[in-house]
Structure 1
């Protein structure tokens, strides 16, 4: 078995080229326009209508089937039990490295799903809001580990997703500001009776180690119905991260409230060196140690090429 060529090795995934995946769109209507894409895309994460038509419309069609199947199972279970319970939301996770384009993917999918003919209610939440406040990270010596699993309030995140899957009508999540690079004190966002919840974050598919005391502890990924992992090679991710840092230096970093405002005033060479150091010391180790190991847990893996275009799609076999 181990001697088989890689292309012939058994895999839990069915692999599609961009062309083959695009054909699966079938008659799914295009409900976004260029103005929508401009609003939904992140800094240094280009996306065009071709990407929406060839990649994201087939994904939305697939998810429509999956959600419908889950709803049918729910109704069958209700008939079996002979009583009614609150239908719980379908939870989709979007995971991957810093600078790979998670935010854009999550926002585009949320917009497409909310435009289905039955107009489901779709909420999008990022795990950034569950990062520990900077004051706590500084006190614990974790500022250099921000984005690593230990920098999150894992119990609060776990309570959030478990309340969502319990069908609670109103569930709140803390809000994070990328401008000040911190959780906003007292500010929350409320998820109210959604049909679909998309959770976007670095380690949302992570499990972690079971406690040695034998207690059964659930993980956030235990509550995920469908996991998406955005993938790219390390050299591309490094380049995209540095390019994004340099673009932000000319834009958001110039805001007086920006946590990174000092980098707007330094030389281009110093800013470039800072970006390279942040990637090498923080983001690359986090990718290798914590983020990429969650990739095999995904139901759908989207592999990006040089220009941020998704060149390959892998769908977990059922």
Structure 2
């Protein structure tokens, strides 16, 4: 079965940023395939440069160009890491310039702040499970000493669903959605990143061509993708629910200690309810893990679920995050204007 590739009707030069506008700062991360360096744009706003770890490596350059292909087709969205432009070296090697998320990877942020987490769930004896106290919000004096609280986790879940619904509306599948691919700013708004494997297909399914050296995020993948390599919005929804498990466990590894995940799933077993997760949310997660993709919710359903959940249990949190997302949109516009 052949895949549908996106057209190459773009030129890197159309998005080139004058290198004189950038002040290069510290190296943030260097992996097997890419490296990320912080920089300052026009001495005003922070950005990051993503480039091949080995500039002369053709496969790594191809991976950068694959991500660039996606980024140039996606308009700015407050829950997606904003594309700013490219830097071209004298050898025509490409570096992607993107928005900088000050708090880094969401997974590492949660893991490093477990000791300063405030659980806002309360016991509800009549129903036998826990609810979020509707009166608590991130702005209360009592929460100031805590870096992360339950309402933050709900906010993150809503924002991820919001961003993924936007991508799904453009017929994009992310194909490696996990908390390590999501970034966090200082005002606790999230940015979905790592779109190098994202692909678009008008029929809403895509047959994966895998970079042979790139490890698959096995524990996040829907079961049907492992055999057919067929990725759809519904396979991303499965991955989204695994992200929810990561969120509400403050970064635990999914299926830790399970030797054969497929056998585990075939027997009807699923990841357990996280400690800081409302029962209603866990019930929704289980629908996302239906073995039949057609019976899973869409990302529109996911966004609506978390919006309704916040309206019910933490209306102030929902209003607050929507205001922050509007501010994120303005910040992304400023970056775009500076880059021109």
Q: Normalising by the residue count of structure 1, what TM-score does the alignment of the two structures yield?
A: 0.31
Quick check: which one's helix share is greater?
1
